[in-house]
Amino acid sequence: MALVKPEDYSRRQQQLAGWDISIETYKLGDVYHCTISNVDPGARFARADGATREDAERLALEKAEKYLGQTRRFTT
């Protein structure tokens, strides 16, 4: 069985398009995997892979921004 260990694991929060998001990135083998989730409830809504951390995160954030732009806010 081929085993790999996740390397360079990071998880951080930031704001994107006015929303709090969580960015999880780690390297498996030669590929960086990046997942973008909303902070609450924590559902993944964008992800991307890349040869570097920067590539993976840039691509994932581009997708995330597009989806977040479709979220409407209502006056309560």
Kindly list the residues in this chain that would bind another protein in the complex (CB under 8 A).
1-7, 9, 11, 19-21, 24, 26, 28, 33, 35-38, 40-47, 64, 67-68, 70-76
Identify the helix (H) or strand (E) that includes residue 37.
Answer: strand 31-38
Minimum CB separation of residue 68 from another protein in Å reads 5
State the minimum distance, in angstroms, from the CB of residue 57 to another protein: 16
Q: What is the CB neighbour count within 10 angstroms for residue 37?
A: 19
Q: CB of residue 41 vs another protein: minimum separation in angstroms?
A: 5
Residue 2: which residues within 8 A CB-CB, separation 6 or more?
none
